[in-house]
Structure 1
Amino acid sequence: MNLPRAKAWGFGVGVAVLIVASFRELDLQWAAFLSPGALAAMGRFLGEFFPPDFSPAVVRKVVGASGETLAMSALGTLLAALGGMALALPASRPAGTRAAPLRGPIRLLLNGLRAVPELVWAALLLISAGLGPLAGTLALALHTTGVLGRLFAEAIENGPPGPAQALRAQGNGPVAVFFYATLPQVLPQLVSYTLYRWENNIRAAAILGVVGAGGLGQMLAFHMGLFQMGKTATVLVAMLLLVALVDGASYALRRAMDR
């Protein structure tokens, strides 16, 4: 058995051992979860969501909250794409370039930004930004900056080195090399990463409202807290439609870029 295959087998065995150990550590009560009493209770709970409340007053509030959630995700993703690109440049070292002294510290910063979940960022920012969509937007931007910054840096480092080396051989500086060689090659990948994170952020924005960051999540937490299940169901329907809309738009944009 050659070395790569041995490493693959070792990795697979390690993952299998980790999965088995996870089941033993968690002690999941599958029998209680699937018992007739538990299933009946879950059925009664789900039945309380029907029918959804589609009264004009509720629909107007849900539509407004949906627009707020969509705006939070779009603006948060835009800020993250700009911040991620700004940090990705010093965090990357394309082939043929000199040493990048800021690569390690910037990557450590990116790790810190994405290690903190959006909900935690929102809870921290609520102290200074107060209740409302500003805290949610900034929370999405900070976390997503860490994610996109790392992805952008990897894309820049893994780009084909040939065009950049040709421009350097002609005496062009790093700025010209980046804009005329590196960026045109990796731009479709960067846009694809950004659109994918926008899809994720629309879901995250719908959840951030639970901690008071505005949008559909705030309505969801409010109506569930009052056990107004019909209105809660309307909010859930709006979340599903909004996610489907953003997923479809993102898919269409990616298909248009691939043509």
Structure 2
Amino acid sequence: MMQKPSAAMPIPPKAGWSTVLLLLGILLLIVASFVSLPLKWRDFFSQDAIRTSIEFLRGFSPPELAPAFLEKIAYATLETLAMSAIGTLLAAFFGLLLSLPASGRFGMSARVLTRGILNVLRSIPELVWAAILLIAAGLGPFAGTLALTIHTIGVLGRLFADTLENCPPLPESSLRINGTHPVAAFLYATLPQSSPQMMSYVLYRWENNIRAAAILGVVGAGGLGQMLKYHLSLFQMQQAASVIIAMLGLVCAVDAISFGLRRVMTR
């Protein structure tokens, strides 16, 4: 009895010359980077460098644990958390609005224009935005919150637009063919399919904004970063160590909360 021939295994596509040339170009760029940069590895691991680093780190111990100082750290921690939360929330709202034209729902011209705006917003780092906004908003957390919001709008707007573009169009098309209003079809078909991935992006950006908010204080944008810059400029290393520990604790707590929320959403 003859057996049916088994289905042939799919043959992987061969790498074209363009792919090979691209990989070679990346490899040459990496080699050229190592050659061109004056990387002094020997000086970095010298005995003098190690001794100086150990002496510098010893200045951070023991951390300052005075109740009055810990109260200041707690207030700055809440300020940093509020900056990141408000900045992420506003960025998610405006990013969703901009993602609609950026995903091509209002024509190719609106898509190109909106994506260009999003590219500009996210290409400028938060520190640069904060330095610019400090001139108008002054020192404090308001400028830092605006800087986080503007930069994160560019990031989330692009991610949301890609999510909407990759969403299967059949459910929304079926509703619109049956006479449903386009807005209702989007809200009941496309948005529910895209919302879990969008929420994952929002939580991930919130984690990043916590770190960014802690650093924005270096330019005077409030929070833990401003405290860290103040004490480091006065060489008060023990106080700076307490601020750094508070930063690490805040980041770890937000990472744990974000991980738990993502696990709940994926279930």
Match of 2:34 in 1: 23
Partner of 1:139: 147
Question: What is the aligned partner in structure 2 of residue 237 from structure 1?
Answer: 245
Secondary structure (helix, strand or coil) at the match of 2:104 reads coil
Structure 1 stretches of 4+ moved >6 Å: none
Greater gyration radius? 2
**Do 2:172 and 2:190's aligned partners in 1 also have CA atoms closer than 8 Å?**
yes
Contact 2:101 2:107 in 1 (8 A): no
What displacement does 1:127 show? 0.7
Paired residue type of 1:193: Y
Aligned to 1:174: 182
Equivalent in 129, 150, 168 of residue 121 of structure 1: 129
Q: Does 1:109 align with 2:120?
A: no
Identify which of 156, 159, 162 aligns with 1:151: 159
The reply to whether residue 72 of structure 1 matches residue 83 of structure 2 is yes
Identity level (%): 57
Q: How many equivalent pairs are there?
A: 256
Residues 165-198 of structure 1 show CA distances to partners (whole Å, capped at 9, x for unaligned) of 2122223332122101110100000000000000
Report what 1:189 is aligned to.
197
**Contact 1:119 1:211 (8 Å CA) reproduced:** yes
Deviation at 1:36, TM superposition (A): 1.0
Aligned pairs for 1:14-53 (under 5 A) are 14-53=25-64
TM-score normalised per structure 2: 0.92
CA contact (8 A) 1:92 1:100 kept: no
Deviations 1:57-100 (A, max 9, x none): 11010010000000000000001001100100011026xxx734
Please give the per-residue CA displacement for 1:200-228, whole angstroms capped at 9, x wherever unaligned. Answer: 00000000001000000000000000000
Q: State the partner residue of 1:60.
A: 71
Shift of 1:33: 1.0
Residues 171, 6 of structure 1: alpha-carbon distance in 2 compared, 3 angstrom cutoff: farther
Q: Shift of the alpha carbon at 1:2? A: 4.3
TM-score of the aligned structures, taking structure 1 as reference length: 0.95
Query: Residues of 2 paired with 1:125 and 1:10: CA distance?
Result: 43
Supply the distance in 2 between the matched residues of 1:190 and 1:58 (Cα, whole angstroms).
39
Deviates more, 1:221-230 or 1:43-52: 43-52
2: CA distance, partners of 1:10 / 1:194: 37
Please give the secondary structure, in 1, of the residue aligned with 2:179.
coil
Kept after mapping to 1: 8 A contact 2:175/2:185: yes
- C-alpha contact (below 8 Å) 2:80/2:213 kept by paired residues: yes
Letter paired with 1:146? G
Letter in 1 for 2:73: V
SS in 2 for 1:66: helix
Flag structure 1 segments of 5+ consecutive residues without an equivalent. Answer: none
Aligned to 2:255: 247
Aligned partners of 2:253 and 2:186: how far apart in 1? 35
Provide the secondary structure at the position in 2 that maps to 1:201: helix
